[in-house]
C-alpha cells in the first residue's frame, strides 16, 4: 500500500501484529472527503449553481474515531442516526475538538432521550437539525427552538438491493403536502438507497424531490436546503462504475436545470455519502489455517481463515456482499488453486464463495504461510460485527504518515467473556 512516498508492507505488518487484523488508512478518508467537497464546489461554480454545498458524513457507516476524525478534519459535517451517535458528537463538542460551526443532522427515530440531547446541544448554540420522521416527532418538534428538516419517502423506484417494496422511513409525498406549515422547516431530506450503481438512480429522485420542494416552499418560505442522502457506490467487484466526478457533475447539472425549469431558487445541497467515503479506507486480513476438500466440487477446496465472515464481515452473509480478495504474500506463486473461504465459526453459513464462483489463491504446497486481504471493508462491517462462537474481533491498526499504530488490540478471552456477563 502506498501513501504518497511512504509505503506499507502488509505482509510484514501482519507477521508482526498477527491476524485477524483490520488496517485503516485515514489518508483515503481525507482524500475522498476533500475531493468530494472540492468537486461539488467546482461544478457549482462552473455551472452557475446558486445554492451552497454541504457534505455530512453519516456516522452509522463507521463510528470508529479513526474514521470520523479524518472526515471532520477535511470539513465534513455529520449526520447521526441515534442518540448514542449524537452522544459521541457531544463528547467531541465538550472536549472542544469540534469547530462550533459544524452542522449535524439527526436522523432515525427520536426517542425521548435522543430528543433531549438534541435540545441540549441546540441550547448550547450548536447547529443541530432534527430530521422529522413521523407525526409523533412532528408534534414534539413544535416546541423546538431551532431549524428542523423533514424526511420524505419519495414515490420513485430505482435498482438496488435496498429499494424495498415497503419503506417505513419518513412521510409519503401526499402526507407532506397535507401538513401545511411546519415550524422552522429548512431542510427537505430523502435517502433512497445504498450502493446505487447507475447515475439515473440519483437523477430521477432528485427531480421528483425538487418538484415536491417547490410545493412545500409555498407554505414554508424558510425551506432552503435539499438533503439527497447517501447512496454513492463502491466498485467492490471488478466492475465499471461511474466516477465521483461524473456523478457529481450530473447531480449539480440536474439540480440547476430542473430548478430553473420550475422557476425555483436553487436550494443548498447536502449529500450524506457514507459507503463511498468509508469502504475503501479499510482492509481485513486473515491467515489461512488449513485446507479441506469440498466433497462435491473436486475442482475447488476450502481455505479456512482465522476469523469469521459471519462476525467480522457480516454483509457476506446478510446480503451476499462480494469483495475483492487478494493474497498478501506469495504474489508470484506459480501454482494457483480455486478456493472457497471458510470462517472459523461452527456455522455452515460462515463462508465466502464469491457468489458461488471461486477465489483464485496460491496453493499451500509451496508456501510456508498464506495471508489474504479482503479489500474495501470500511463501511458498515464494524458496527454490524458480532461474536458468534465467541470468536474475537480483529485487531485494528492505523496506517498513516508512514507509521503503524495499534488502535484496538485483538480481543482476549476475558474481553469477549465480559460482553456476555462473565
Ligand atoms: C445509511 C444512510 C446514509 C449513508 O448511505 P450510503 O449508502 O452509505 O452512502 C445516508 N443517509 C441516511 C439517512 C442513511 O440512513
72 three-state secondary structure = helix
Give the pLDDT score at 366. Answer: 86
Atom of ligand 1 nearest to the CA of 272: 10
Q: State how far the Cα of 114 lies from the Cα of 108, in Å rounded to an integer.
A: 10
> Best mutation site among 167, 226, 230 for ligand 1, i.e. most ligand atoms within 8 A of its Cβ?
230
> Best mutation site among 57, 58, 82 for ligand 1, i.e. most ligand atoms within 8 A of its Cβ?
58
> Best mutation site among 191, 277, 315 for ligand 1, i.e. most ligand atoms within 8 A of its Cβ?
191
> Best mutation site among 170, 194, 319, 382 for ligand 1, i.e. most ligand atoms within 8 A of its Cβ?
194
Atom of ligand 1 nearest to the CA of 107: 13
Torsion sign, CA atoms 228, 275, 419, 310: positive
Cβ-count burial 255-268 (b if 16+ within 10 Å, e if not): bbebbeeeebebbb
pLDDT in tens, the chain (422 residues): 999 999 999 999 999 999 999 999 999 999 999 999 999 999 999 999 999 999 999 999 999 999 999 999 999 999 999 999 999 999 999 898 888 899 999 999 999 999 999 999 999 999 999 999 999 999 999 989 899 999 999 999 887 777 777 778 899 999 999 999 999 999 999 999 999 999 999 999 999 999 999 999 999 999 999 999 999 999 998 778 999 999 999 999 999 999 999 999 999 999 999 999 999 999 999 999 999 999 888 899 999 999 999 999 999 999 999 999 999 999 999 999 999 999 999 999 999 999 999 999 999 998 999 999 999 999 999 999 999 999 999 999 999 999 999 999 999 999 999 999 99
- For 359-416, the DSSP string reads EEEE-STT-S--EEEE----SSHHHH---GGGPPPPEEEEEETTEEEEEEPPPPHHHH
Q: In what helix (H) or strand (E) does residue 255 lie, and over which residues does it extend?
A: helix 244-262
Atom of ligand 1 nearest to the CA of 230: 9
**Residue corresponding to grid cell 417505513:** 168
Q: How far is CA 38 from CA 4, 55, 89, 203, in A?
A: 20, 10, 25, 21
| Nearest alpha carbon, ligand 1 atom 3 | 230
For ligand 1, the distance from its centroid to the CA atom of residue 189, given in whole angstroms, is: 11
For ligand 1, the distance from its centroid to the CA atom of residue 343, given in whole angstroms, is: 29
Atom of ligand 1 nearest to the CA of 278: 8
CB under 8 Å to 121, separation ≥6 — which residues?
86, 89, 90, 93, 104, 128
Region of 385 please: left (phi>0), alpha (psi -120 to 50) or beta: beta
Per-residue cell: 103: 452542522
Q: State how far the Cα of 381 lies from the Cα of 202, in Å rounded to an integer.
A: 25
Pick the CATH number of 2-23+279-419 from 3.40.50.300, 3.40.1180.10, 3.30.2130.30, 2.40.37.10: 2.40.37.10
Cβ-count burial 270-281 (b if 16+ within 10 Å, e if not): bbbbbbbbbbbb
> Best mutation site among 60, 160, 280 for ligand 1, i.e. most ligand atoms within 8 A of its Cβ?
60
Residue among 96, 114, 102 nearest 54 (CA)? 102
Strands (E), 277-353: 282-293, 300-305, 325-327, 336-342, 351-352
Give the pLDDT score at 413. Answer: 97
Give the pLDDT score at 24. Answer: 98
Residue among 386, 381, 384 nearest 411 (CA)? 386
For ligand 1, the distance from its centroid to the CA atom of residue 176, given in whole angstroms, is: 21
Topology alike, domains 2-23+279-419 and 47-272: no
CB under 8 Å to 329, separation ≥6 — which residues?
11, 367, 369, 370, 371
**Residue corresponding to grid cell 462435491:** 296
Strands (E), 306-342: 325-327, 336-342
418 three-state secondary structure = helix
For ligand 1, the distance from its centroid to the CA atom of residue 273, given in whole angstroms, is: 6
Q: How far is CA 169 from CA 112, 153, 166, 223, in A?
A: 19, 6, 9, 20
Q: Where are the domains of the chain?
A: 2-23+279-419, 47-272
Residue among 305, 333, 328, 259 nearest 1 (CA)? 328
CATH class of 47-272: alpha beta
Give the pLDDT score at 303. Answer: 98
Pocket of ligand 1 from Cβ distances under 6 Å = 58, 60-61, 79, 107, 191, 194, 229-232, 272-276
For ligand 1, the distance from its centroid to the CA atom of residue 277, given in whole angstroms, is: 11
Q: State how far the Cα of 35 lies from the Cα of 232, in Å rounded to an integer.
A: 14
Q: What is the pTM of this model?
A: 0.96
For ligand 1, the distance from its centroid to the CA atom of residue 131, given in whole angstroms, is: 14
| Nearest alpha carbon, ligand 1 atom 5 | 230
Q: State how far the Cα of 130 lies from the Cα of 279, in Å rounded to an integer.
A: 26
For ligand 1, the distance from its centroid to the CA atom of residue 151, given in whole angstroms, is: 13
Strand partners of residue 232: 196
CB-CB contact of 275 with 194 (8 Å): yes
For ligand 1, the distance from its centroid to the CA atom of residue 144, given in whole angstroms, is: 25
Strand partners of residue 400: 403
Give the pLDDT score at 286. Answer: 98
For ligand 1, the distance from its centroid to the CA atom of residue 272, given in whole angstroms, is: 6
Atom of ligand 1 nearest to the CA of 131: 13
Angle at 192 (CA atoms; ends 187, 195), nearest 5 degrees: 125
Amino acid at each position: 500500500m502506498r501513501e504518497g512516498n511512504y509505503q506499507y508492507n502488509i505482509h510484514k505488518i501482519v507477521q508482526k501484529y498477527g491476524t485477524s487484523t483490520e488496517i485503516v488508512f485515514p489518508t483515503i478518508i481525507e482524500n475522498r472527503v476533500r475531493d468530494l467537497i472540492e468537486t461539488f464546489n467546482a461544478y457549482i461554480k462552473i455551472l452557475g449553481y446558486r445554492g451552497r454545498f454541504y457534505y455530512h458524513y453519516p456516522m452509522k457507516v463507521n463510528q470508529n474515531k479513526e474514521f470520523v476524525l479524518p472526515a471532520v478534519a477535511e470539513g465534513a459535517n455529520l449526520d447521526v442516526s441515534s442518540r448514542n451517535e449524537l452522544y459521541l458528537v457531544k463528547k467531541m463538542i465538550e472536549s472542544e475538538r469540534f469547530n462550533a460551526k459544524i452542522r449535524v443532522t439527526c436522523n432515525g427515530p427520536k426517542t425521548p432521550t435522543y430528543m433531549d440531547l438534541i435540545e441540549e446541544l441546540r441550547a448550547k448554540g450548536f447547529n443541530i437539525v432534527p430530521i422529522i420522521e413521523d407525526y409523533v416527532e412532528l408534534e414534539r418538534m413544535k416546541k423546538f427552538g431551532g431549524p428542523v428538516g423533514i424526511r420524505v419517502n419519495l414515490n420513485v423506484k430505482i435498482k438496488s438491493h435496498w429499494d424495498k417494496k415497503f419503506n417505513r422511513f419518513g412521510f409519503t409525498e401526499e402526507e407532506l403536502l397535507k401538513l401545511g406549515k411546519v415550524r422552522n422547516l429548512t431542510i427537505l431530506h430523502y435517502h433512497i438507497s445504498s450502493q446505487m450503481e447507475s447515475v439515473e438512480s440519483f437523477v430521477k429522485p432528485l427531480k421528483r424531490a425538487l418538484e415536491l420542494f417547490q410545493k412545500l416552499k409555498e407554505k414554508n418560505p424558510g425551506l432552503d436546503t435539499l438533503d439527497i442522502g447517501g447512496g454513492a457506490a463502491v466498485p467492490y467487484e471488478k466492475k465499471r462504475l461511474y466516477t465521483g466526478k461524473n456523478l457529481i457533475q450530473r447531480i449539480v447539472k440536474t439540480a440547476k436545470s430542473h430548478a430553473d425549469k420550475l422557476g425555483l431558487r436553487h436550494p443548498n445541497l447536502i449529500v450524506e455519502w457514507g459507503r463511498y467515503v468509508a469502504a475503501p479506507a479499510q482492509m481485513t486480513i486473515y491467515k489461512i489455517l488449513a485446507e479441506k476438500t469440498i466433497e462435491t466440487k473436486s475442482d475447488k477446496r476450502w481455505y479456512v481463515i482465522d476469523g469469521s465472515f459471519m462476525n467480522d464481515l457480516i454483509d457476506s452473509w446478510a446480503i451476499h456482499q462480494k469483495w475483492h480478495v487478494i493474497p498478501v504474500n506469495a504474489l508470484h506463486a506459480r501454482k494457483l488453486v480455486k478456493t472457497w473461504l471458510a470462517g472459523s465459526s461452527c456455522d455452515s453459513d460462515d463462508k465466502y464463495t464469491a457468489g458461488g464462483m471461486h477465489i483464485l489463491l496460491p496453493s499451500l504446497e509451496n508456501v510456508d504461510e498464506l495471508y489474504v486481504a479482503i479489500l474495501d471493508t470500511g463501511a458498515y462491517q464494524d458496527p454490524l460485527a458480532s461474536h458468534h462462537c465467541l470468536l474475537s474481533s480483529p485487531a485494528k491498526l492505523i496506517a498513516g504518515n508512514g507509521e503503524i499504530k495499534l488502535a484496538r488490540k485483538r480481543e482476549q478471552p476475558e474481553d469477549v467473556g465480559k460482553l456476555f456477563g462473565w
